[in-house]
Amino acid sequence: MKGFSEIGEEDLKRIEMTGLQTGSLEGRSGSFLQVDDHIHHASTDTKGVEILALADALEKYAWLEDYYWKAVPRDKDEITQYVAAREPKGYVIIARKGSQTTFPLQTCLFMAKDEIQYVHNIIIAEEGAELHLIAGCASSMKTKNGAHYGVTEFYIKKDAKVTMTMIHTWGESIEVYPRSVAIVEERGIFLSNYVCMVPAKKVQMYPTAELRGDGAVARFSSIMLATPGSYLDTGSRAILSAKGATSELITRAITTGGTIISRGHILGSVKDTKGHIECRALILKDGTIHAIPEIEGRVVDCELSHEAAVGRIAREEIEYLMARGLSEDEATATIIRGFLDVKISGLPESLQKQIDAAIDAAEKGF
């Protein structure tokens, strides 16, 4: 297998913007790289954690059939149907019972050519395992048109914890259609962080967490910037179907001319469940932000709430910072940086730093 050495310098920079390391893998517990439909690299040095190409995994482990297309239905829509009809691509990560990764494991999906890249990933955290993933998705500067179809199935077993940090660095003419579902069992924790600060033509996704075990937790946080020409239709959904299950869906969205549809849905179908949706958005220049938070309770004793706000930066705040000597532009950028600063509890510091770096890199453009 070949690694990042095959990729040109300019494109390596774009990959690094997604938080991935392309040189030494120090500080990473494993790495996966798929360019277009070729798998270049899959390795891990952590005991109890395996990363392998989906096709190899299906051959090696017959039991994987119990997970293959079990969280995301094959015939869900035309995206899943497209992926299901083709040769399996993508990765499988298995964190064995009780395994712990100190460092995050990185996966990179890179589009070098103008075509459709598709992947199907399966992530399994067995009982008590803890797994941190940083998933970078990027396209080459040379890629003018293209689409990325990604199916991801997460299985988080009893007392396991998975954090998934996804940073997108697509091109202005790329369309992206992730389809992902996480199934979380008893006391399992799923934290999903999405950062998109770089233009993409279209992103359409609505990842779902099904909390099937008592005390399961899912937290989604999304930080997005829509520049002119970008259309981001994103959301997250939590289905609270076990006692004590809790979920939080947090979004910070900014537009400078693009469109953001920020969806959210929490369904409480059993007693003693809690969920909250929070969406805050700023329209800096032109553009549209449409927040659609939905909370649906079907029993007594489920506590669901939402708050959504679309607005602009308060003049008062800008003037406050200007009185301290910051120019209007500096004050505005400082306030926006603060607005986007969502600290995600339970996220390892190294991953928080990657998120911060992705936002910092975009700060100049506000």
Partner 1 sequence: MLTIEDLHVEVEGREVLHDINLTIKEGETHVLMGPNGSGKTTLLRAIMGFDSSQITEGSLIYNDHDITHMPIHERARLGIGLLFQRPPTVSGLKLGKLLAVTSGGDSERVDEYARHMNMDTFLERDINKGFSGGEIKRSEVLQLMIQKPDLVMLDEPESGVDLENMSLVGNAIASLVEKDKHIVNRKKSGLIITHTGYILDYIDADFGHVMCDGTFKCHGNPREILKSVQSKGYKECIECQRV
Positions that interact with partner 1 (CB under 8 A)? 314-317, 319-328, 330-331, 334-335, 337-342
Q: How far is the CB of 57 from partner 1 (least distance, A)?
A: 41
Of 197 and 266, CB closest to partner 1? 197
Q: For the CB of residue 75, give the shortest distance to partner 1 in the complex, in Å.
A: 42
Question: Whose Cβ is closer to partner 1: residue 270's or residue 321's?
Answer: 321
Can you read off the two tokens belonging to residue 236?
């997250």
Token match 């998934």: residue? Answer: 164
Q: What is the DSSP string of 161-179?
A: EEEEEEEEE--TTEEEEEE
Residue 17 or 331 with smaller CB distance to partner 1: 331
Judged by beta carbon, residue 211 or residue 331, the one nearer partner 1 is: 331
Closer CB to partner 1, 312 or 324, in the complex: 324
Tell me whether residue 217 or residue 253 sits nearer to partner 1 (CB atom): 253
What DSSP character marks residue 215?
T
Q: What is the dihedral of CA 104, 109, 110, 111, to 10 degrees?
A: -160
Supply the minimum distance, in Å, between the C-beta of residue 259 and partner 1: 24
> Which is closer to partner 1, CB of 78 or CB of 320?
320
How many CB atoms sit inside 10 A of residue 27's CB?
11
Strands 259-268 and 231-240: parallel
In the complex, the smallest distance separating the C-beta of residue 271 from partner 1, rounded to whole angstroms, is 33
Whether residue 131 contacts residue 159, with contact meaning beta carbons closer than 8 Å, is answered with no
Which of 179, 248, 174 has its CA nearest to residue 211? 248
* Residue closer to partner 1, measured from CB, 87 or 312: 312
Contacts of 157 (CB under 8 A, 6+ apart): 124, 125, 126, 127, 128, 129, 185, 188
C-alpha span between 206 and 112 (Å, rounded): 26
Query: Vertex 284, ends 280 and 290: CA angle to 5°?
Result: 45
Min dist. Cβ of residue 108 to partner 1 (A): 30
Q: How far is the CB of 341 from partner 1 (least distance, A)?
A: 4
Nearer to partner 1, 240 or 335 (CB): 335
Closest separation between CB of residue 275 and partner 1, Å? 22
C-beta of residue 134 within 8 angstroms of C-beta of residue 106: yes
- Cβ neighbours of 75 (radius 10 Å): 9
Least Cβ distance, residue 250 to partner 1 (angstroms): 12
Least gap, CB of 218 to partner 1 (angstroms): 23
List, in order, residues 6 or more apart from 76 with CB less than 8 Å away: 179
- CA-CA distances (angstroms) from residue 86 to 18, 53, 178, 181? 27, 15, 16, 20
Residue 186 to residue 177: CA distance in whole angstroms = 30
Of 302 and 340, CB closest to partner 1? 340
List Cβ neighbours of 336 (8 Å cut-off, separation of 6 or more).
254, 282, 284, 313, 363, 366
Rg, the chain, Cα only: 20
Q: Which residues of 263-297 are buried (b: 16+ CB within 10 A; e: fewer)?
A: bbbbbbebebbbbbbbbbbbbeeebebebebebeb
Nearest distance in Å: CB 315, partner 1: 6
